[in-house]
Amino acid sequence: MKLKIAILAGDGIGPEVTREAVNILKAVAEFGAHEFTFSEALIGGVAITAHGTPLPQSTIDLCLESDAVLLGAVGDNKFNHLTPDKRPEAGLLQIRQELGGFANLRPCLSFAALAENSPLRPEVAKDVDILFVRELLGGLYFGQPRWWNKETGEAINTMRYTKHEVVRVSRIAFQLAQKRRKKLTQVDKANVLECSQLWRATVEELKPEYPDVTVEHQLVDSMAMHLMNIPRNFDVVLTENLFGDILSDESGVITGSLGMLPSATIGGKVNLYEPVHGSAPDIAGQGKANPLGAILTAAMVLRHSGHLEREALAIEAAVAKVLAAGHRTSDIARGNTAANVTTTQMGKLVHEALAQSIDRQDSMHAV
């Protein structure tokens, strides 16, 4: 398998966690005789410093010429004085639009070793495996008109969706549900919002095409509560942009840290992959960042762009093994400081576990 991967490490802890993810991808390439090439480009605050813009054209060009884009994190407080369209985060929104990915996949997988790490009771957090499918290019984040009149003290944002936008992301959610536990939960606010009524009606219209998938609908406020009480009841969760942003971040409570959450954005010209956590500039360069979200994101690169399911599963198994051995970065230590490891040390531990896992698989396959 050949993959050309664009690396946009970005700001804050982005370069630290991305480095560990790339090391894991290089290990997979070595173990499996795959050919992965990596090319670096700037985005966010580092791009503003170097080029005066959060997303240079050279970065866009590189991404469009690649098979996948792996992004670290974007954001730096020193640019907060700029208007929103000039800040680092604008580069992230723009690259999503340029690549055209409309379906954001956010897994929430509770590792057994971290069950007690969650603020939720272990019996609630245990064995959770949810895949959020979030529409990424519509809704309040992009709808027009939008403005803020500081003189009158009035602001407006527009939630807008077309049936086409809902259909294309819903089909992806249905297809993913068919490969998992065959249950789809569509989340909306249909008792108040016309946009949500469109979403619910469209999913109902598509349902007969996927007779093996059970469909249910949840209002977003009740869904927020159910995620904290009965998260094992959910498999694939489909929702619009704003609700998906909030609910998938809330799921970090289940895993114990946002640092454990990967994501992939698919459906466009080139798939974009990034851990859910932000740039965390307050801990940048201190070796405290959790690289597991980025490493699990690397597994998604292999799964969705490389179609290397075996290798993706091997990475996830390696992460589970390292956590089961008691190794923790500070965000998931929960007071167990004796087991704390640095960003680099965690990456090396996963690399070692991955090598052992692949060696065992190869030995079994040879027999």
Point out the catalytic residue in the list 86, 207, 249, 348.
Answer: 249
Alpha-carbon separation of residue 271 from 144, 166, 241, 317 (angstroms): 26, 19, 18, 23
Q: Which helix (H) or strand (E) holds 91?
A: helix 88-99
Q: Is 273 a catalytic residue?
A: no
Catalytic site residue from 61, 85, 127, 221: 221
Among residues 67, 86, 129, 141, which one is catalytic? 141
| Annotated catalytic residue, options 189, 210, 235, 331 | 189
Establish whether the linkage from the previous residue to 145 is cis, with ω within 30° of 0.
Answer: yes
67 an active-site residue? no
Q: Is 221 a catalytic residue?
A: yes
Q: Among residues 245, 273, 288, 331, which one is catalytic?
A: 245
The answer to whether 85 is a known catalytic residue is no
Instruction: Give the integer Cα–Cα distance in Å for 296 and 74.
Output: 18
Look up residue 57 and give its two tokens. 């054209």
Spatial separation of the C-alpha atoms in residues 219 and 241, rounded to whole Å: 15
Residue 157 and residue 97: Cα distance in Å, rounded?
Answer: 19
d(CA 260, CA 319): 10
Residues 343, 289 contacting (CB under 8 angstroms):
yes
Whether 141 is a known active-site residue: answer yes
Angle (nearest 5°) at CA 93 between 91 and 97: 110
Which of 77, 9, 28, 7 lies closest to 357, judged by CA? 28
> Hey, which residues are catalytic here?
141, 189, 221, 245, 249
